[in-house]
Structure 1
Amino acid sequence: MPLPTTMRALVQPSSESRDLSLTTKQLPVANLSQGEHLIRVHACSPCAGELLWPKNFPPPKPRELVPCPDISGIIVSAPTDSPFQPGDEVYARTNYIRPANARDFTIGVTDELAHKPKTLSWVEAAAVPVSAETAWQILFIHAGIFKGEDTDVSAAREAWSGKRVLVTAASGGVGMWVTQLAALLGADVVGTCGPDNLALVKSLGANEVLNYRTTSMRDWAEQPGKKVDVVIDCIGRKSLEDAWWAVRDGGVILSIFQPPTQVRPEDFKGEAVHDVFFVMEPNRMQLEQITKLVDDGKCRPMVDSVWPLEQFEEAFKRLDGGHSKGKIVFDLSLN
C-alpha cells in the first residue's frame, strides 16, 4: 500500500510545558545510510515522568518533543544490510536523541531494534522494552554481582543464585521485570508494593512481599536474616531513603530514579555500601535475549490499560497517578 503523506503525532510544545497536543505532521524520513529504519507504529508506551525529561535532561540536539520511547511496529523501509527488512515485526526502546514514538510512523536504528516476541500482541510487546532492558542492565551489569558477558544467562544465574534482593515498587513497569528476572536467576527476591498488588508480586517470583503502607522498612530489616545483598529501587524519594536500612554491610543499593546518596539517612551506620545510579541505554542484543525468554514462557509483560492516541490526556493522568499495574499503552489502531 502507498504511504500516506501525513500522520498523527503527539507533541509536547516545549521543554517547559507538561501539556501535549495531537497534531498532523509529515512522515519522518529515514536516513538509510545511518542505519535508520522507517517503522509503521502499531503500539507505543510512555514512561512515568517523561514529560519532565526535556527540561531536566535536555536532548543533546534540539528536536521535536514526541513522547513514548517504547514501540512495536512493522518495518516499512530499511538499509539493505540490516537484519530487519520491510514487513518484519519489531519492537524497541528508541534513543532519546530522536523524537519518540507517539506517532503513526517513527524511526529506529539497527542497534536498538529487536524482533517482536511471536507470543505477544502489538500492545503487549510495546509494554516490554524500556522496563525489561532496564531490569536486564541492572542485573547483568550495574549491580556488580555478575561480571562477564551480559548475554551469558547461565553464568549470571551462577553469580546471582542465593543472593538476597529487595525490589521497591515491584509491581511497577520496571520492578515487575526486575522481580521476574532476579527470580529466574535464582535470587531470593523480596518485593515491596501496595496492598492490591501483593498476590501479583508473589506470582512474579518474589519469595516475600511487603506492603509498604503497613511495613516499616527499618523495623523489618532489623529482624534476623532480613538484610539483603542488593537493593534495587524503582521509585526513589522516601522509598529509597527507607530502603537504605535493608542493605547489609558491603552490599549494593541501586536506584534508577536518583543517586541513592541524595536520600541516605543521616543516622545510617552501614559500612562499605556501594551506591549506583544509572540511566538505561537501548541495546539490540539484550532485547533479543528478552524476546527469547518471553517466547519460552519464562517472563511476561503486564499491561495496565490500553488507550487510543486521541485519549492521551486520560492516559497520562492514569500514568501520573502512580498506581498503574504494569504499563500504559497506546494502541494506534484504535480511534
Structure 2
Amino acid sequence: MSLPRTMRAVLQPSASSTDLTLTTAPLPTPERNSTEHLIRVHACALCAGELLWPKNFPPAKPRELIPCPDIAGTIVSAPEGSPFRVGDEVYARTNYIRPGNARDYTIGVTDELALRPKGLSWAESAAIPVSAETAWQILFIHAGIVVDGDTDIAAAREAWKGKRVLVTAASGGVGMWVTQLLAKLLGATVIGTCGPDNVSLVQSLGAGEVLNYRETNLLEWGARPGNKVDVVIDCIGRKSLEDAWWTVRDGGVVLSIFQPPTQVRPEDYRGEGVRDVFFVMEPNRKHLEEITKLVEQGKCRPMVDSVWPLEQFHEAFKRLDGGHARGKIVLDLSLNQ
C-alpha cells in the first residue's frame, strides 16, 4: 500500500517539560531482521503520570518522547515469520524503550501485540492493554496468591476464593480491571475505594463493599472487627497507601503499582509477616491474548471516559490531570481528518 512521507505526532520536547506540541515527522522504519511491525494507529490511550516518566525513569537510550503507550491499529508491514499479517487489527501496550503511539504510524513487536477483541470500537480496544495487563500481572503473578504465571483460571479461582481484597482507586484505569477480574472471574470479596460520584460504578464492577474516601478513614475502618483484608492492591499511593497498611491482616500482602509500599509504611505499624510488593508492568502478548478471550466472552469490559481528536491532545491531558476520569481517555486519530 502507498504510505505518506510524513505523519502527525504529539511530542514532549524534553524530559523536564510537559508542554506537548503537535508536529510533523517522518514515518518510523522497522528495523530489518527484527520482530518490529509498522502499524497504522487508529486510537491510542493516555496513561496517568506518563509525562513524568522520562524525568523519573529516563529511557535507557535517547528517543523521541511521544506519549500514549496503548495502541489499537492495523498492521501495515510485518517481518518474515510473524504470526500477524498485513491488515490484521491489533492492540498493545508498547514498550517504554520506544516512542509512544500518539502519532499516525508506530512500531509494535511480536511479543507485545495481540489481535484486538471482536465487537469493540477502536477507542474501546485502545482503552484495554496497559490497565488490563497490569491487573492481570497483579493477580496472576505479583500478589503471590497463585503459582507465578499460572494462567489456569480454575486454579486461580480456587486460590483467590474467600480472600478479602482492598482495592484503592477502584474506579481508575487499573482499579476497575482489578475489581472486575477479582469479583467476577476469581470470586474474591472486593472492597473498593473511590469518590462519591463513582460508588455505583464500582458496585457494578462487582465490589462487595465500596468506601467513599471522602467519608471513610481507612485507619479507622481497618480497626473495626472483621474488616481486615488478606491483600491490599493500591493504585494511588501516598496517603491512601499509608492508611491502607492498617487494613491488612498479619501474613497478608500490601501491593502497590504507584510506589514501594515501605516508603509510606506508618512508623508505629506493628503488623507481622506482611509482604510488600511493588512492580512495573511489562508488555506481554500471552497475557493480552488471555484478556482478549475474557473480553470476547463478556466476562470483563473496558470503559472509555472520553474520546478526542489528536489535535485536541491538550484538552485530553487536561481531563486526565483533573483526576476525575471514569475509565480511559482516548485519542482517535481518524477524527478531524
Using the size of structure 1 for normalisation, the TM-score is 0.99
Amino acid at match of 1:90: V
Give the residue type in structure 2 aligned to 1:277. F
Contact residue 119 and residue 294 of structure 1 kept, 8 A: no
Deviation at 1:267, TM superposition (A): 1.6
1:266-305 aligned within 5 A = 266-305=267-306
How big is each residue's C-alpha offset from its partner over 1:207-266, in whole Å with a ceiling of 9 and x where there is no partner? 000000000111111121111000000000011011111100010000000000111111
Per-residue Cα deviation, 1:292-324 (whole angstroms, up to 9, x for no partner): 000000000111111011111111011011111
Matched letter for residue 271 of structure 2: G
Cα separation, partners in 2 of 1:149 and 1:52, compared to 1, 3 Å: closer
- 1:20 alignment partner AA: L
Deviations along 1:182-215, whole A, 9 cap, x unmatched? 1111111110000000000010010000000000
Runs of 5+ unmatched residues, structure 1: none
Point out 4+ residue stretches in structure 1 off by more than 4 angstroms.
none
Partner in structure 1 of residue 222 of structure 2: 221
Aligned mates of 2:217, 2:102 — CA distance in 1: 40
Match of 1:319 in 2: 320
Matched residue type, 1:116 = R
3-state SS, counterpart of residue 33 of structure 1: coil
- Asked if 1:154 is matched to 2:154, the reply is yes
Query: Aligned letter for 1:140?
Result: F
Alpha-carbon distance in 1 for matches of 2:284, 2:150: 11
Q: Which residue of 1 aligns with 2:198?
A: 197
1:79 CA displacement:
1.3
Rounded Cα–Cα distance in structure 1 between residues aligned with 2:97 and 2:302:
26
Written as runs of structure 1 = structure 2, the 5 A alignment for 1:252-267 is 252-267=253-268
Which residue is equivalent to 1:144?
144
Residue deviations 1:153-174, cap 9 Å, x none?
A: 2211111111110000000000
Code of the residue aligned with 2:179 in structure 1: it is T
Pairwise CA distance, 1:272: 1.1
Return the alpha-carbon distance in structure 1 between the equivalents of residues 257 and 31 of structure 2: 32
State TM-score, norm by structure 2.
0.98
Distance 2:231 2:55 in 1: 31
Identical-pair percentage: 78
Number of residue-to-residue matches in the alignment: 335
Partner of 1:174: 174
Report if the CA contact (8 A) 1:8-1:103 is conserved: yes
**Aligned partners of 1:32 and 1:78 also within 8 Å:** no
Q: Distance in 1 between matches of 2:78 and 2:312?
A: 31
Look up the SS of the partner of 1:23 in the other structure: strand
Matches within 5 A, 1:44-193: 44-183=44-183, 184-193=185-194
Query: Residue in 1 aligned with 2:18?
Result: 18
Which has the larger displacement, 152-161 or 186-195? 152-161
* Secondary structure of residue in 2 paired with 1:292: helix
- Counterpart of 1:51 in 2: which secondary structure? helix
The CA deviation at 1:80 is 2.4
Structure 1 SS opposite 2:135: helix
Structure 1 CA distance for aligned equivalents of residues 116 and 127 of structure 2: 11
RMSD of Structure 2 on Structure 1 (CA): 0.8
- Separation in 1, partners of 2:4, 2:120: 27
The one-letter amino acid of 2:277's match is V
Structure 1 position 148, deviation (Å): 4.5
Give the SS at the match of 1:108.
Answer: strand
* Gapped regions of structure 2 (runs ≥ 5): none
